[in-house]
Amino acid sequence: MTDDRRMGVPLPRKTKPDKPIQTLTGLTAIPEGSSVPPARAGVPSTGADRVYEAIYQAVLERRLSPGERLREQELAEQFNVSRTLVRQALQRLAQEQVIELLHNRGARVPIPSLEDAGSVFDARRVVECEVARQLAGRLSAEQLQTLQHLAASETEADRQGEHALAIRLSGEFHQAMAHMHGNPVLTRWLNGLLPTTSLLMSRFKRQGGQVCVAHRHVDLIAALQKNPAAAGAEMRKHLNELEQSLTTPTTPRRQLRDVFQAYRDSPE
Ligand SMILES: [Zn+2]
């Protein structure tokens, strides 16, 4: 995604609103410690859906890194589905900019640049500050409880060193707010922006910083119970902090060291 034209506010996804990804917003309570997306009762899951969801989540949770290749044959074997179904999933993911298809060279996880970060965070501020403003003072006790539960689960996951889970819960907090707002277009836009945010965090996050610090989510919940100006301002502050945590490309250096570690340790 380095070269590209696609990092502005994305077009709404071409999927139907009831496709699986929308249901990942998890408005039902999420079981403590669960690493499985909330059950999608009544939503049929095809082979292509399973591949789609697994890759989307893996990008979101940063288990797939920027630039990583996604080979059809390997995925087909992993998921025990045909290459045709894998291709369908990859095409849908590419349409939604979660991965990119390289001409005659298969698929890979995009490598967003710091310039892309500016575009992504601008778009997130537009969407999410508005969501926060409009939600302020309107959330039911049950909705507030859902957000509190997500923030508490995220803190707990982080404390236990379950980083993938903490990252996912942190994304779900933002998705849950958008879902509670109730505008499906804003929800789709946000869903389109979160994978790139995760990839940017993988590449450029300042070492030692967290993704979404859970206490910021607690502050957001407090602001949501005040007024639109406070809620919008708190969301802006949170997104600004996230954007400012992106500085040095740390991943390549770490990967290189890991690569050579194996050679240094191998017995002669
Ligand atoms: Zn956050």
Ligand 1 centre to CA of 239 (Å) is: 7
- Residue 129 shares a structural domain with residue 71: no
DSSP state letter for 9: S
Q: What is the pLDDT of residues 158-182, one digit of tens each?
A: 889 888 888 888 899 999 999 999 9
pLDDT digits (tens, 9 = 90+) for 211-248: 566 678 999 999 999 999 999 999 999 999 989 888 76
**C-alpha 93 – ligand 1 centre gap (Å):** 23
Q: The CATH number of the domain where 126 resides is what?
A: 1.20.120.530
pLDDT band at 255 (very low <50, low <70, confident <90, very high): low
Q: Could you tell me the distance, in angstroms and rounded to a whole number, from the CA of residue 260 to the centre of ligand 1? A: 35
pLDDT top residue among 265 and 22: 265
What's the 172 CA to ligand 1 centre distance in angstroms? 9
- Residue 59's domain spans which residues? 40-108
Q: What is the pLDDT of residue 165?
A: 84
Q: Examine residue 190 and state whether it is found in any structural domain, yes or no.
A: yes
Do 59 and 167 fall into the same domain?
no
Same domain, 49 and 124: no
Give CA 30 to chain center in angstroms. Answer: 17
At 223, which helix (H) or strand (E)?
Answer: helix 214-224
Distance 214 CA to ligand 1 centre (A): 7
Q: Do the beta carbons of residue 55 and residue 99 sit within 8 Å?
A: yes
Give the number of other Cβ atoms within 10 Å of residue 31's Cβ.
Answer: 11
Q: How far apart are CA 79 and CA 48, in angstroms?
A: 9
Q: Is residue 259 part of a domain?
A: no
Radius of gyration of the chain (CA): 19
Kindly report the pTM of this predicted structure: 0.71
Residue 208 sits in the same domain as residue 123: yes
Note whether 103 and 227 are same-domain residues: no
